[in-house]
Amino acid sequence: MLVAISIAESFSGMLPKFFVDVSKRFNDITFVRELAAIIIALTIGLSNVIDMFFFVTFVRTEHIVSESEFNATAGLEEVPNAEHLLPASFVQQMRDAVPTERVLYPSYLSNFGVLILIAIAVIAQLTHLTKILLILSIAALHCYFNVFLMQDLYALEDDLAHQPIISTRYCASGLLLVAALALSFLARHMDHEDRVIFKWKTEVAEQKETANDMRQRNEALVYNVLPVHVAEHFMKNTKRSHDDLYSQSYAEVGVLFASMPNFSDFYSEETVNNQGLECLRFLNEVISDFDALLELPQFQDIIKIKTIGSTYMGASGINLQRNLRNDAAITERWSHLAVLVDFALELKHALQGINEQSFNHFVLKMGINHGPITAGVIGARKPHYDIWGNTVNVASRMESTGKAGAIQVTEETCNILQQFGYTFQQRGLVAVKGKGQLMTYYLQGKSESNSEPKPAIELHESKPEATPVSLDVTQELEVDIKTPLLKLKAQDTAAQDAPVAHLTNGTVAESQSLLE
């Protein structure tokens, strides 16, 4: 019954649930499990001792073989070919005088005892000390019966074996003692090995857990450094050589640059700022909040490229998993660009929330452009994912030549975004390094009521022809200066570095009002 309860857990699909639950509770309690093993060991050990006791009692109450019967039978067995020398009827009569079931061999009980000792030694639920105690106790009890209580039976067996040199009872007792000592040593060795194996398994499990944790940390680090599709390329491609380069060209990508132009005035390496550490901690909180927006489902197609100081760079259309047809509509092909604009607006809202909590007045100056780019990973020891191309350069110029608090785009980008309901206000021609004069626009917002696309030419077709006009763009900076001295210094620096914008006569006043 105890064995059935113990193993019922292994047959959970074949036995009732109640019986399986009882088996689980039984195996989970160490004391109950050990007690059941001891009861089983004592039961099989004492069962053989009880047989020996009744065996002795039976011999003392009934004389199994008389001396004359034994001598007659023994003499008959010593004569070779007795069946041929004597009449068959006489031989059968002599054998019938001593029934075979009355010729007993007590040494078999000692052999059974050895098997019982082996069974006790292999019980896994017991410690080696408990096994040794049970083995020695049962072996000693068997030896006591052999030497002191069953000497007559062993003498009869010795007579049948033609008087061996050493009495059978001593041989059987010696066998029990040797088996008990050997099994005691084996039990100690098995217990030691089990403990060592358990320790090894524990260490292996801990090492596996540590290795898995380290692997997850490494993967998290790689996925933080590289975009998901690039990280999967490096993590899954185990046969890749370290000299192999990764690069990919994309035809339709949106690029965003967002900077805080007044952060440089906020940063100061003074004692009150812990040598600038508090300023960097604040910048880290801002960038972390920006990164948190990328975890939102609606911005899953946008990836962060890098940060340069207080400038945040992102791109859309790089990690798209969907396959678009060549004849797909513009609104379908450039839907990620609209998502990038929504992301830029969310950046403004996030920074506004930070300003309210920290009592600061930081603003974002952003520029967006679209077009083809080339992306890749550079660096052997510190790999860095970056994008290159004319699209990236123009997006950077849109940010640098824009005004604080506004999102500046090119005319081509404006035409596409208008089809998604965004409204723009023309800024005019802006001198862009390497590109000459570009017509740019400031994003005003998104019109939910008007979903029809509005061509960008309608915004400036009534404007007169452009003539070069130089503007003082210090009004564009709108820097929150803490002291008059810093304000004067910033104005002098801005006046020296300000680009010259060429606008039409009819748009000068309008542009100045926009910049203010």
Catalytic annotation, residues: 397, 433
Three-state DSSP class for 373?
Answer: strand
What is the C-alpha to C-alpha distance for residues 186 and 182, in angstroms, rounded to an integer?
A: 6
Q: What's the Cα-to-Cα distance from 169 to each of 67, 112, 148, 157, 235, rounded to whole Å?
A: 20, 14, 9, 9, 74
Q: Position 1: which residue type?
A: M
CA dihedral 447, 452, 454, 455 (to 10 degrees): 140
What is the C-alpha to C-alpha distance for residues 265 and 253, in angstroms, rounded to an integer?
A: 33
**Residue 226, Cβ neighbours under 10 Å: how many?**
20
Taking alpha carbons only, the member of 503, 349, 341 closest to residue 427 is: 503
Give φ, ψ of 464 to 5 degrees: -70, 175
How much of the chain is helix, strand and coil, in % rounded to 5? 60, 15, 25
Which residues, in sequence order, are CB contacts of 399 under 8 Å at separation 6+? 257, 258, 259, 311, 365, 366, 367, 408
Contact status, residue 93 vs residue 1, Cβ threshold 8 Å = no
What is the C-alpha to C-alpha distance for residues 422 and 284, in angstroms, rounded to an integer?
A: 31
What is the C-alpha to C-alpha distance for residues 253 and 319, in angstroms, rounded to an integer?
A: 10
Ramachandran quadrant class, 89 (left: phi over 0; alpha: psi -120 to 50; beta: rest): alpha
Spell out where 311-451 has E strands: 311-316, 365-378, 384-388, 407-410, 422-432, 436-446
